[in-house]
């Protein structure tokens, strides 16, 4: 199998590594020269390209599958639409127009499209209800992906990621120092995010479907913070309720909506597809970070 990873960044680089271990041909695509250099430093073939520029995508060779993992760089809804909707449409137009078009697309989305469920459980059958302009954009991109088999002749799978963590993204200080606001954390280690996408590329069971990529245990933020503190030899951090946090007059509207949004994401479909998590919960996924913290304090 020949695979192009568009937006070969935090997850994409690990995905490329795992795919290469399977003896598959992989090309990583980034917008910047430094990004391409990073790809090549990891032993992958790097191509400078932009999902919003079809001319630059011409440099990507014919492939069997495309992974759309491009990022809007933390921008707002306008930047998100440019990448996730316009860029995805450009990508589908470009690759479907080739004589040797790919037959698979995996788009990496976010569990943020679910909106608020009052701490209740959600899965792939739960109707999504995005509560921000940005998550509404992500929902639109999901629909483009699911319609791709009909509109473009490419089977589209949505890999809906929970909150990513892993090397460089553990954010221990945030939970060790506090204060920690109540709510739930839905998480997935970077290596499992990449591993799940690699698994989806190799199975036909979810070619035109949504799969939530989340670990086995949504965690109470308070419980997670207490566990992390104990593992690191620290006192439990200060805590606050949602009401206390929402009373902050300087709280931005996006931050307010994040605090008000609570859910627990199930991964039954991912498990049913045969993917075995490397890090089933944060207890195993945070061990490297804890060891490093203890060694340095």
pLDDT of residue 224: 98
pTM for the whole thing? 0.95
pLDDT at 75 over 80: no
CA dist 111 and 122 (Å) reads 9
Are 49 and 6 in contact by the 8 Å Cβ rule? The answer is yes
Which whole number is the average pLDDT over 149-174?
A: 96
pLDDT at 74 over 80: no
Q: Is residue 224 part of a domain?
A: no
- For residue 47, the cross-strand partners are 29
Q: Is residue 122 part of a domain?
A: yes
Q: Is residue 205 part of a domain?
A: yes
Q: Is residue 99 part of a domain?
A: yes
In terms of pLDDT, which residue wins out, 133 or 86? Answer: 86
Which whole number is the average pLDDT over 75-91?
A: 91
CA dist 78 and 37 (Å) reads 28
In terms of C-beta density within 10 A (0-12 exposed, 13-18 middle, 19 or more buried), how is residue 137 classed?
buried
pLDDT at 249 over 90: no
Cβ density class 32-68: b for 16+ within 10 Å, e for less: eeebbebbeebebbbbebbbbeeebbeebeebbbbbb
Phi, psi at 168, each rounded to 5°: 80, -5
What is the CATH number for 56? 3.40.50.720
> Where in the sequence is the domain holding 113, given as residue range(s)?
2-165+186-215+264-279
Strands (E), the chain: 2-6, 25-30, 45-48, 65-68, 104-110, 121-122, 155-161, 163-165, 180-181, 184-185, 187-189, 210-213, 219-220, 239-240, 264-265
Q: Is residue 245 part of a domain?
A: no
pLDDT of residue 133: 87
Convert the pLDDT of each residue in 281-294 to its tens digit: 999 999 999 999 99
Which whole number is the average pLDDT over 51-78?
A: 91
pLDDT at 73 over 80: no
Q: Residue 71 — pLDDT band, cuts 50, 70, 90?
A: confident
Q: Are strands 65-68 and 239-240 parallel, antiparallel or unpaired?
A: unpaired
Which whole number is the average pLDDT over 81-94?
A: 95
Q: Is residue 74 part of a domain?
A: yes
pLDDT of residue 186: 97
Q: Residue 155 — pLDDT band, cuts 50, 70, 90?
A: very high
Cis peptide before 68 (omega within 30 of 0): no
Q: Is residue 29 part of a domain?
A: yes
The tally of CA atoms less than 13 A away on the side-chain side of residue 99 is 0
Which whole number is the average pLDDT over 49-58?
A: 94
Q: Is residue 92 part of a domain?
A: yes
Q: How many domains does the chain contain in total?
A: 1
The tally of CA atoms less than 13 A away on the side-chain side of residue 260 is 13
């Amino acid at each position: 199998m020949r695979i192009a990873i568009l937006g070969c960044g935090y997850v994409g680089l690990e995905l490329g590594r795992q795919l290469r271990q399977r003896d598959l041909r992989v090309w990583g695509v980034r917008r910047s020269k430094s990004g391409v250099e990073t790809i090549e430093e990891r032993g992958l073939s790097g191509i400078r390209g932009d999902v919003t520029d079809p001319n630059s995508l011409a440099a990507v060779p014919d492939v069997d599958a495309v992974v759309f993992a491009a990022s809007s760089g933390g921008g707002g809804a306008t930047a998100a639409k440019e990448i996730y909707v316009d860029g995805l449409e450009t990508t589908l137009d470009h690759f479907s127009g080739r004589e040797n078009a790919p037959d698979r697309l995996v788009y990496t989305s976010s569990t943020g499209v679910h909106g608020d469920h009052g701490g209740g459980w959600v899965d792939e059958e739960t109707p999504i209800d995005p509560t921000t302009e940005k998550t509404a954009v992500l929902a639109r991109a999901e629909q483009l992906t699911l319609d791709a088999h009909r509109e473009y002749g490419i089977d589209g799978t949505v890999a809906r990621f929970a909150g990513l963590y892993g090397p460089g993204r553990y954010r221990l200080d945030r939970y060790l120092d506090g204060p920690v606001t109540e709510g739930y954390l839905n998480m997935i280690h970077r290596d499992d995010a990449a591993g799940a996408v690699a698994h989806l590329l190799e199975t036909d069971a979810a070619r035109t479907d949504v799969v939530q990529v989340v670990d086995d245990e949504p965690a109470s933020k308070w419980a997670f913070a207490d566990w992390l503190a104990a593992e690191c030899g620290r006192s439990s951090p200060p805590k606050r309720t949602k009401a206390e946090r929402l009373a902050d007059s300087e709280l931005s509207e996006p931050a307010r909506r994040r605090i008000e949004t609570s859910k627990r994401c199930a991964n039954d479909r991912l498990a049913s597809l045969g993917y075995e998590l490397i890090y089933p919960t944060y207890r195993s996924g945070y061990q490297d970070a804890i060891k490093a913290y203890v060694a340095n304090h």
